[in-house]
Structure 1
């Protein structure tokens, strides 16, 4: 394993621990995204029963899935701050991965809707330990010269895991039961076992290959407050807080598409295969572009890419409300993926540039928390607005993207000196 990691480090030109962490997040991402497909099937099966408290089956599924994101995002500022306070990242990541492994296995024993809600809620809390500490660790293992590239590599592998899980999940369930020696394993049990194994693999990778930087503990216990307004007085809003708001707007605009599959398919007269391709286009663009854009922002600056991405997000979101062919929707989603790749890694890198030593967990959790809330807000908004017309959700997302671009242009300044001599046509000067 160490030889493989060493070879990959040479290929990707990042710290060995960053790559090991990226692989760990890829592994747990496979298992966690597995559940996005498996849980609705499990709820709809005959295995689960018990009181529904007057809720329809579809509403129960929505509660179970959304609770994960809500608790995950809500707890991130707390866990990020605690990891700063103790000056340790690795233990927090291990606690989260262990929690995921245990709760994945617990699904095998769950036979009521209430049990599923409790387990999924605990998983949300577990992941809240992983995300801020992981991003903070990547930030602290990087330097100003390579922070964007490190963030890009980390996000690339994490997204590979997240994208691979749903592809395999349905097949694992449908091909069951499995016979292993004298043991018979049902499709659902096999899926939960896969999720447990991937979380365990992530745990082992972190245990063996990752250590905390000495500087993290040396700077523990610093001022961990989150500023809303800019203390320097050069802008109205604090730049990290601004990037958090922008991340929320971007995530909400991107997530509008997820919950209106019936309306999209009816409008475009297409089947579920086309919808799956359109949904995947965003993730594919992210996987392909995160690393090169991250490295490019180390050379040309963070702000041009963030602002450019938010500008691209405006038309790519709006056009989805008016396209009439499956091919056009696919291209629009691909453009959204490009926009997201231009924003995500450079925004984390810029926030990392600004975060004082020992405060990465607190500062960067603002962005990761906001992104998580945006992913939750988007589907809710599209479900509520689509009744006013197919274009209504996408017009709403366009407004958010436009506001985000304005915030970046007026409230965020460049952190790299290299951009002083670089002029990109789509952003103008500072």
Structure 2
């Protein structure tokens, strides 16, 4: 039996995404410190250092999200997935190495834009490939495996980056490296490792069908309602905004709960921990019992767990709330991607699934901006807005999305994807 009962090509793709996730999340910790260190110079265009840091960090999300429908469409038209994943990983490797030469704000912005475009090539093609390699009865479980590995990489990266920067400088084979230089090399090495894994172990399915000419994103379904994939994208956008509110408000949360940064780090990680442990079992359960029930329960649970973050006054309660929000997110992530994958036909997985990945990326980028603006109206306001959006998402999915799995028909072990 294969590890995680998953096609080895999907497992290799998931491990590759974990490796490049470590490298990418390194930079979330390193770049603000790098800018604040004084190494970066040049024109600031009248912006404060904190504003420049915000632009540098958020640029990847905006560039990647807005580009994903285009790159997904290109991979559908050409019938190629692996090629575009490798292009993206090559771009990430190059960008991570070029940080060693970046000494101006403009160069950092250019490199972050390159990273965003590289990620835009990776995400739609890799999610579409998972969708196409997975059988109808294992799609949810395979999406769960893919997301789990990605989240492990993303969660481990910041911790490793902090240790690596603080432990520098280093002397390796007679060459001196600062903590910053070491992290850029490690990030580039992680992307290069991903490139090697995909090159050696991942192949496009031989039966992959090229998409037709019409690859537009449907908003309406032709019967006066919303297109189900578009609806899932809107729900994913609302969910992502809600879960991205927390990180921006660290100073306010720590002051409100009278806690330090360590407590905040544990609370932040709690969401990811829930995801890591629950993505696979929930994805597999959705293969047997249906996608829609899990998505609906997740969105309902997301509302109170988001609102509570603006209400609780105890660090332990905040930890429980964050764990609960992670459970809610896990119930939406894999089942929503699997449901959209069920609806994608004719080689259009890249275009269709990019609606969800784009929406989630935009939500992650918009959430911190929303929190920074809304918290001025009251500490609870951003969390109340996030909870309201979750309920709106519930209403949209309940009324506009039909189930694609007949309960109890598919089992997590049936209809396996063909092996190489």
Interval of TM-score (by shorter of Structure 1 and Structure 2): over 0.9
Partner of 1:87: 79
* Structure 2 alignment gaps of length 5 or more: 411-420
Contact 1:279 1:333 in 2 (8 A): yes
Structure 1 equivalent of residue 14 of structure 2: 22
Q: How does 1:210-229 map to 2 (within 5 A)?
A: 210-216=202-208, 218-229=209-220
State the SS of the aligned residue for 1:179: strand
**2:414 alignment counterpart:** none
Indicate the residue corresponding to 1:427 in structure 2.
none
Aligned pairs (5 A) from 1:321-400: 321-400=310-389
For residue 215 of structure 1, report the CA deviation from its aligned partner: 2.3
Instruction: Indicate the SS of the match to 1:184.
Output: strand
Aligned to 1:204, which of 173, 196, 202? 196
Look up the match of 1:240: 229
Q: What SS does the corresponding residue of 2:246 show, helix, strand or coil?
A: coil
- Which residues of structure 1 form unaligned runs of 5+? 1-8, 422-430
Instruction: Report the Cα distance in structure 2 between the residues aligned to 1:109 and 1:355, rounded to whole angstroms.
Output: 43
Contact 1:87-1:221 within 8 A present in 2 as well: no
Q: How far apart are residue 219 of structure 1 and its match?
A: 3.0
> Partner of 2:44: helix, strand, or coil?
coil
1:95 match: secondary structure: helix
Among residues 88, 95, 113, which one is paired with 1:121 in the alignment? 113
1:72 aligns with 2:64: yes
For residues 207 and 120 of structure 2, the distance between their equivalents in structure 1, rounded to whole angstroms, comes to 23
Deviation, 1:419, is 6.0
Q: State the secondary structure of the residue aligned to 1:127.
A: helix
What CA distance in whole angstroms lies between the structure 1 residues aligned with 2:321 and 2:253? 13
1:420 CA displacement: 9.1
Which residue is 1:167 aligned to? 159
1:249-260 to 2 correspondences below 5 Å: 249-260=238-249
Judge conservation of contact 2:218–2:227 (CA < 8 Å) in 1: yes
Query: May I ask how many residue pairs the two structures share in their alignment?
Result: 410
Paired position in structure 2 for 1:5: none
Q: CA RMSD in A?
A: 1.2
Provide the C-alpha distance between the structure 1 equivalents of 2:166 and 2:409, rounded to a whole number of angstroms.
56
Structure 2 Cα separation of the partners of residues 411 and 144 of structure 1: 22
State which drifts further: 410-419 or 302-311: 410-419
Cα distance in 2 for partners of 1:59, 1:417 equals 50
Cα distance in structure 2, aligned partners of 1:241 and 1:47: 44
Aligned equivalents of 1:99, 1:209: Cα separation in 2: 20
TM-score (norm 1): 0.94
Conserved in 1, the CA contact under 8 Å of 2:212 and 2:346?
A: no
Supply the distance in 2 between the matched residues of 1:411 and 1:364 (Cα, whole angstroms).
17
User: What is the distance in 1 between the residues matched to 2:346 and 2:174?
Assistant: 55
Q: Which residue matches 1:49?
A: 41
Q: Deviations over 1:301-321 (max 9, x none)?
A: 000000000000011111111
Q: Partner of 1:428 in structure 2?
A: none
Q: Which residue of 1 aligns with 2:254?
A: 265
- Return the alpha-carbon distance in structure 2 between the equivalents of residues 130 and 420 of structure 1: 33
Give yes or no for contact 1:215–1:357 (8 Å, CA) kept in 2. no
- Write the distance in 1 (CA, Å) between the matches of 2:95 and 2:62: 17
Deviation at 1:171, TM superposition (A): 1.1
Contact 2:78-2:210 within 8 A present in 1 as well: no
Matched, 1:294 2:286: no
